Structure 1
């Protein structure tokens, strides 16, 4: 049987983040295409890790900077290796290329990390971000090199596809747009049966922490107009700084992990997401669309999903306007109903799995049929795999030797 090896930065946690949802979806997609899937990671499993055995996926613990991985992958002999984010490719890509040179190497970017970092820097410096700033972002050198070293990179945002092709001049043959998949729920709670605002986000992700800080700043203005309404904030891995913002009297309520995201979103009237930086597509906003929960967000929140004109609610970067839009969407049923329809349209036309699975299958088969030709078209990738450019390889070998001496 054809085997696909996933090398995970962590074990997936679909209940904690969109990244976890993405990896499980990708695993299922490969299984539906007839591949056996193996998942390996250097990370420890947590109580929130998805049970991969429930979908017949074997799990393996692997060591970083250790030659035991070489034996592991030689015995496995996969036809494809999927790297969960570019850091996994940096750590293991050269070992895969050496031990199994014919295996197709696929990078699942999750989001462009260099974009998220560059935007965060702009926020901290209080400057306006320009996509050309990415050319001076140190992380971009590592991330773009990783993309070139792989045979194909999966991108979840159309905006990021444009950046990679227009700013970094990466050939489209090395990229494939494959968003997170969603399907509309056929029957959801009506406007009259819902109450309160909601925010959901994994707090290990800095944009989510920053968004809650923004919400804390503007909440009193919203509460003046809606004195009986609460804002309930859910998220995994909340820090003490997050928990200290809790104020039940003011209706600013901090909760822990959302045990059932869709149920919580469906019971809420409006999702608020004032994201000032970030990348990729925001799972919380798409999950809200699935259950017909309108949202107010920023241009970064809407990026890669839809335009402000056709959003399921409002898109604004001005926090005073954000307050007005949140109140308006909450109070006006007609506007709320119209927003729900836009969300349904977005999910149906852009995020259904059926739109992409056949194209993905055909592309994988095309690359498999003539991997040498595909790689010859990517000369920069071949160049970066040469020894004189393989800094990650020799750093790993140096650590490996250093660890051996410690044992002795």
Structure 2
């Protein structure tokens, strides 16, 4: 949204759940984004009807929200172009989870999500995905659809601390998200004990919201520290030596990987965690898909300042090349047309 504002668009953000009196809404307004003052979920459709004459385009994020907003916008603002922003293909992530656990119930749920997402692709004017892999997957199912790539936007670029001043390992991810919770469990159970045999004394930091499941706790001697949500993540990105991304299923482009790389923090990841990110194993990132190989890669990188610096430099360059605001705006303009007008503040 900030990138669109900087490109000359007038942007209104309407949250699906209603209320807009929180501090986050205040920060958005201060950055030039119009956030209508809504108090209940029912206020958003009323606002839309009031401003329908000046609505040029609507970007609907995730299928949960797009499913009920798309028909309403078609009805009240038929001339507005509609973009379905998948954020990531939810059905792809759910299918991979079902395959990992060989679960028929999860397979049925994933297929239901697939039908919902493909239905929205059919009804939207343009669909946004975050990687070439997801674009090609959608076009295989819907060859006539207009599918464009608008990936994660990272507007940070810092080397952080040098190798010698960094310590320990980092995993970032909210535990409400199933791929993150699975990754944490696998990391704590199978990977980190192997790392500790190779790097005695190294610690592992978990940062992210705890989610709704059982709290994760570890004894002090495990070397695992759970921080929960932190208001400013920059110190751990700049101070921990390596970021870990042992995701066994998922979809989309992983913000945790890009954010670490933007802070000069090299990453050891599974192939799933680097999918669609233009990363070259051994040059931009280290990739490993089983616990022993993953632990070996971490230990190697932790003790090799030359390899560490190479990955640090290359990771930052990759973020600048593919995930800058400028790259996203070029695609957005192709979808939305030149900057027009959006509703003024009421």
Tell me which residue corresponds to 2:226: 254
The residue correspondences of 1:98-109 to structure 2 (distance < 5 A) are 98-109=75-86
For residues 230 and 177 of structure 1, do their structure 2 counterparts lie closer, same or farther at Cα, with a shift above 3 Å needed? same
Using the TM superposition, give the Cα deviation of residue 190 of structure 1 relative to its aligned residue in structure 2, in angstroms.
Answer: 0.7
Using the TM superposition, give the Cα deviation of residue 308 of structure 1 relative to its aligned residue in structure 2, in angstroms.
Answer: 4.4
Secondary structure of the residue aligned to 1:232 is: strand
Q: Distance in 2 between matches of 1:331 and 1:255?
A: 25
TM-score, length basis structure 2:
0.87
Q: Distance in 2 between matches of 1:311 and 1:126?
A: 36
Q: Distance in 2 between matches of 1:237 and 1:319?
A: 24
Q: Determine whether 1:55 maps to 2:66.
A: no
Q: Distance in 1 between matches of 2:35 and 2:243?
A: 37
The residue correspondences of 1:99-248 to structure 2 (distance < 5 A) are 99-125=76-102, 137-166=111-140, 168-171=141-144, 174-183=146-155, 185-217=157-189, 218-239=191-212, 241-244=214-217, 246-248=218-220
Q: Distance in 1 between matches of 2:267 and 2:330?
A: 32
Secondary structure of the residue aligned to 1:255 is: strand
Using the TM superposition, give the Cα deviation of residue 252 of structure 1 relative to its aligned residue in structure 2, in angstroms.
Answer: 0.9
Secondary structure of the residue aligned to 2:289 is: coil
Secondary structure of the residue aligned to 1:322 is: helix
Higher relative contact order (CA 8 A, sep 6+): 2
- The answer to whether the 8 A contact 2:153-2:328 is kept is no
1:102-149: per-residue Cα shift (whole Å, max 9, x none)? 11111111100000110110111189xxxxx99982210001101111
**Whose Rg is larger?**
1
Secondary structure of the residue aligned to 1:215 is: helix
Tell me which residue corresponds to 1:277: 249
Secondary structure of the residue aligned to 1:58 is: coil
- The answer to whether the 8 A contact 1:329-1:336 is kept is yes
Using the TM superposition, give the Cα deviation of residue 291 of structure 1 relative to its aligned residue in structure 2, in angstroms.
Answer: 1.1
- The answer to whether the 8 A contact 2:279-2:285 is kept is no
For residues 240 and 254 of structure 1, do their structure 2 counterparts lie closer, same or farther at Cα, with a shift above 3 Å needed? farther
Q: Distance in 2 between matches of 1:134 and 1:345?
A: 41
- The answer to whether the 8 A contact 2:172-2:206 is kept is yes
Secondary structure of the residue aligned to 1:106 is: strand
- The answer to whether the 8 A contact 2:258-2:319 is kept is yes
1:358-407: per-residue Cα shift (whole Å, max 9, x none)? 34324422899xxxxxxxxxxxxxxxxxxxxxxxxxxxxxxxxxxxxxxx
Unpaired segments ≥5 residues, structure 1: 1-26, 128-132, 369-408
Q: Distance in 2 between matches of 1:219 and 1:69?
A: 47
For residues 238 and 139 of structure 1, do their structure 2 counterparts lie closer, same or farther at Cα, with a shift above 3 Å needed? closer
- The answer to whether the 8 A contact 1:232-1:254 is kept is yes
1:202-248: per-residue Cα shift (whole Å, max 9, x none)? 1111111111001111211111221211001010134563433x222
Q: Distance in 2 between matches of 1:271 and 1:39?
A: 33
Give the superposed CA RMSD.
2.7
2:299 to 324, 327, 331: 327
For residues 308 and 122 of structure 1, do their structure 2 counterparts lie closer, same or farther at Cα, with a shift above 3 Å needed? farther
Unpaired segments ≥5 residues, structure 2: 341-346
For residues 223 and 47 of structure 1, do their structure 2 counterparts lie closer, same or farther at Cα, with a shift above 3 Å needed? farther
- The answer to whether the 8 A contact 1:197-1:269 is kept is yes
Q: Distance in 1 between matches of 2:338 and 2:200?
A: 59
Tell me which residue corresponds to 1:358: 330
